[in-house]
Amino acid sequence: MFEHILVPIDGSPLSALALPIAADLARRYDSTVTLLYVMPPLLVIYDAPAYTSVDSATTVNAKAQGQRILEEARTAMVFPEAQLLYLNDGPSRTAQAIVEVTQQRGVSLVVMGSHGRGGLEHFFLGSVAEGVMRRIGVPVLVVRGPNTSALPLPPMDTPHGALISEVSA
């Protein structure tokens, strides 16, 4: 059913919530798993005219941190055959990078954590999970943390017998 599962991670505890779920699905469906880390843009802005500069030591440190996050995620999954993919030269938007990797590698399911931001925080910071779901042509399983706000469920006597539910880790 799911031949290739992509798990984008950023090193946060919320992205780590997707790891055991992806590992369980991979074992059930004998799937290949790819863990993806997209390095965020490294920009330092000086003075009024925007001048950007990133030294090579910063880039090397950021890459080492990304590799460490990937290795720790693979260990946490207890899935040693998971492939690790580190991107630092892709699109500047993480959601677009995830979509491109999905298309290039023939991914059949994306499992990812979400911060569950709402209101102004969502407006200003956006949502990578939402950006992926808007652009992608494969199923996306979004795992939310236990303390993220959720829409209330409708009463069970909802018209037309509709059932709405949410899965949280």
Tokens of 119: 């209101």
- Judge contact between 85 and 36, C-beta under 8 A: yes
Is the pLDDT assigned to residue 17 strictly greater than 90?
yes
Residue 142 lies in a domain: yes
Residue 92 lies in a domain: yes
Number of domains in the chain: 1
Looking at 56-167, list the stretches that DSSP marks H as alpha helix, in order from N- to C-terminal side: 56-77, 94-105, 119-125, 128-135
The pLDDT confidence band at residue 42, using thresholds 50, 70 and 90, is: low
Residue 110 lies in a domain: yes
Tokens of 39: 């390095």
What single-letter DSSP state applies at residue 141?
A: E
Q: Which range is least confidently modeled, 41-55, 113-127, 152-166?
A: 152-166
Residue 167 lies in a domain: no
Give the pLDDT of residue 62: 85
Residue 166 lies in a domain: no
User: What is the distance between the alpha carbons of residues 26 and 153, in angstroms, rounded to a whole number?
Assistant: 30
Tell me, rounded to whole angstroms, the distance of Cα 124 from its chain centroid. Answer: 18
User: 3-state DSSP call for residue 20?
Assistant: helix
Q: Which range is least confidently modeled, 21-25, 94-98, 113-117, 141-145?
A: 113-117
Give the pLDDT of residue 144: 83
Is the pLDDT assigned to residue 168 strictly greater than 80?
no
The pLDDT confidence band at residue 145, using thresholds 50, 70 and 90, is: confident
User: pTM value?
Assistant: 0.75
Tokens of 21: 């779920």
Give the pLDDT of residue 118: 53
Residue 169 lies in a domain: no
Q: Give the CATH number of the domain where residue 79 resides.
A: 3.40.50.620
Q: Which candidate, 142, 83, 76, 61, places its Cα nearest to that of 109?
A: 142
b (16+ CB within 10 A) / e for 150-167:
eeeeeeeeeeeeeeeeee
Print the domain residue range for 156. Answer: 4-161
Residue 43 lies in a domain: yes
Residue 99 lies in a domain: yes
Give the pLDDT of residue 130: 83
The pLDDT confidence band at residue 155, using thresholds 50, 70 and 90, is: low
